[in-house]
Structure 1
Amino acid sequence: MIYLLLSILASTCIFLIFKLFDRFKVNTLQAIVFNYIVACLCGLLTYNKPINLIEITEEKWFYGAIALGFLFISIFNVMAITAQRNGISVASVATKMSVIIPVFFGIYMYGESTGYQKIIGIILALLAVYFVSIKPNSNLHLKSSLLLPFVLFLGSGIIDTSIKYLETTYVSENGIPIFSATIFCFAACIGLGLLIVKIIKKEFKFNPQSLIGGAILGITNYASIYYLLKALDHESIESSTIFTVNNVAIVMLSSLIGYILFKEKLSIKNWIGVSFAIISILLVTLA
Structure 2
Amino acid sequence: MYLLLSILASTLIFIIFTLVGKYKINTLQTIVFNYFTAFSLGVISYSQPIHTQDIIQSKWFYGAIGLGVLFISIFNVMALTAQRNGISVASVASKMSVIIPIIFGLFAYNESLGLQKAIGILLALVAVYLASVKKRTETGFALKGLWLPLLLFFGSGVIDTSIKYIETSFIPDGDIPIFSACIFMMAGLIGVGFISAKAIQKQFTFDKKAILSGFILGIVNYYSIYMLLKALDAENFESSTIFTVNNVAIVMLSTLVGLLFFKEKLSTKNWSGIAIAIISIILVTLA
- TM-score band (shorter)? over 0.9
The answer on 1:206 being equivalent to 2:206 is yes
After TM superposition, the runs of 4+ consecutive aligned structure 1 residues lying more than 3 A away are: 136-144
| Offset of residue 22 of structure 1 | 1.9
Residues 134 and 140 in structure 1, CA contact (< 8 A), matched pair in contact too: no
Which residue in 2 is equivalent to 1:93? 92
The answer on 1:69 being equivalent to 2:71 is no
- Counterparts of 1:12-31 in structure 2, within 5 Å, are 12-31=11-30
* Aligned-partner Cα distance in 2 for 1:154–1:142: 20
The answer on 1:256 being equivalent to 2:261 is no
Which residue in 2 is equivalent to 1:119? 118
| Aligned AA (1:51) | I
| Aligned AA (2:171) | V
Which residue in 2 is equivalent to 1:274? 274
TM-score using structure 2 length: 0.98
Distance 1:102 1:141, change over 3 A: farther
| Aligned AA (1:75) | I
Secondary structure of 2:111 counterpart: coil
Residues 35 and 215 in structure 1, CA contact (< 8 A), matched pair in contact too: yes
Q: For 1:77-128, what per-residue CA distance to the aligned partner results, in whole angstroms no more than 9, with x for missing partners?
A: 0000000000111001110100000000000000001000000000000000
Unaligned 5+ segments in structure 1 are: none
**How well do the aligned residues superpose, as a CA RMSD in angstroms?**
1.2
| Offset of residue 235 of structure 1 | 1.4
| Offset of residue 12 of structure 1 | 0.3
Q: How many equivalent residue pairs?
A: 286
Which residue in 2 is equivalent to 1:50? 49
- Counterparts of 1:1-287 in structure 2, within 5 Å, are 2-138=1-137, 141=140, 144=143, 145-287=145-287
Per mean C-alpha deviation after superposition, the further-off stretch among 196-205 and 129-138 is 129-138
| Offset of residue 23 of structure 1 | 2.2
Residues 106 and 240 in structure 1, CA contact (< 8 A), matched pair in contact too: yes
| Aligned AA (1:72) | F
Unaligned 5+ segments in structure 2 are: none
Q: For 1:13-33, what per-residue CA distance to the aligned partner results, in whole angstroms no more than 9, with x for missing partners?
A: 000000101222210000001
| Aligned AA (1:253) | L
* Aligned-partner Cα distance in 1 for 2:33–2:252: 28
* Aligned-partner Cα distance in 1 for 2:125–2:140: 17
| Aligned AA (1:285) | T
Residues 42 and 219 in structure 1, CA contact (< 8 A), matched pair in contact too: yes
